[in-house]
Amino acid sequence: MKWNDVAILLLDPADGTIRECANAWKKRYGISRDRSFSVPFARTHRRAGEILPGYKRLEAGSLSFSNLTTKLIVVSHGCPQGLFLGRTLLGAPDVAYQLAGWGLTSAGLLAFRGCLLGKANFLDRLVPSLSHANIEAGWLLGYKREAISLGIDPGWLETPRLLIDTQLNGKHEGCHHPMATERRAPPRVAAHEGIGFFDRLLREATGGRSKLPDEQRVKVVRGNRVVAPPNGSSPRYPAYLETPV
C-alpha cells in the first residue's frame, strides 16, 4: 500500500536501538527532514536539548500538515500496555492527546514500530481516544510480537543496519515482555526486523525474501474514519463501506 505522504516520529533519540530503527525507516521510505520529527535528547543525556541531525524538533503544531493521505510512522519501545516516550509509558489516551498536542488532526495510517503494540488491545483502545482528541485516522498498525533484529540486507540501505526493539532494558519492566530480563548482542549487520521467533527464522532461512503472513505478525485496526486504500483493497487494508464509530 502506497501513501502520498510519509512522515516519521522518533520518540527516544537517546536510545541507540530506537535511533537506528528510525534512521533505517527514513532511508527505506526516503523521508525528508521536513517530514522527520524527533523529541530532544533528555536532560540527563550529554546532548541534552539537542535534536538529532536529519530531524526537526517535534513540538506544538509540527504535525498539522498531516491528512488522511499521510502515513505516520511512530518509532519507540513498546509493550502491550502502550508505547514509551523516552522513559515514560503512555497508554492509549496519553498517546492520543500527545499526538493532538503536536498538531495532529488526521492521518491515513498510524504505523507503530515497537514491540508488542498489536498484542493486546492498545490499538483498539486508541481509536476512541483519538476521536476524543479530535483526531481522524483511517488505520492503525502494530506488531503482535517482539521485533527482532536480523542480519539480512534486503537492499534498501546503503549501509545495512537496522536495530528494532531488541536491546531490551528496564523500559520493559512491568510490561510482561517475554524477554524483559534478557539482553542480546545485536547482529553485526542488521537490516530487517523479524516479528517473533518463527518469523525471524523464516526471514533468516530465505535471506529476507519470505516472511510469515500478516495475521501472524501485525495487528491492523480500522480507525474512526473511512479511508480507501490508495491502491485499492488488499488483505491488509480491505476496502469497506460502513462508517466506523
Give this prediction's pTM. 0.80
Does residue 94 belong to any structural domain of this protein?
yes
- Which residues does residue 142 pair with via DSSP β-bridges, in sequence order? 112, 219
Residue-wise pLDDT for 54-92, tens only, equals 999 999 999 999 999 999 999 999 999 999 998 899 999
Does residue 228 belong to any structural domain of this protein?
no
Confidence of residue 233 (pLDDT cuts 50, 70, 90): low
Predicted confidence at residue 53, as pLDDT, reads: 92
Q: What percent of the chain has pLDDT over 70?
A: 74
Does residue 174 belong to any structural domain of this protein?
no
Contacts of 23 by beta carbon, 8 Å cutoff, 6+ apart: 54
Question: Rounded CA gap, 162 and 18, in Å?
Answer: 9
Question: Rounded CA gap, 119 and 217, in Å?
Answer: 10
Residue-wise pLDDT for 103-147, tens only, equals 999 999 999 998 899 999 999 999 999 999 999 999 999 999 887
- Say which DSSP state 77 is in: -
Residue-wise pLDDT for 173-199, tens only, equals 445 444 444 444 444 444 457 777 787
Question: Rounded CA gap, 90 and 84, in Å?
Answer: 6
Question: Rounded CA gap, 154 and 174, in Å?
Answer: 34
Does residue 77 belong to any structural domain of this protein?
yes
Number of compact structural domains in the chain: 1
Does residue 83 belong to any structural domain of this protein?
yes
Does residue 160 belong to any structural domain of this protein?
no
Provide DSSP, 1-46: ---SEEEEEES-TTSHHHHHHHHHHHHHHT--GGGEEEPPPPTTST
pLDDT higher than 90, residue 50: no
Does residue 180 belong to any structural domain of this protein?
no
Q: Which residue did the predictor score with more confidence, 214 or 169?
A: 214
What are 59's three cell numbers?
513540538
Residue-wise pLDDT for 142-163, tens only, equals 999 887 766 555 554 444 444 4
Does residue 234 belong to any structural domain of this protein?
no
What are 13's three cell numbers?
533519540
* Domain enclosing residue 15, as ranges: 5-145+213-222
Chain CA centroid to CA 99, Å: 14
Q: What is the CATH number of the domain that holds 106?
A: 3.40.50.11050
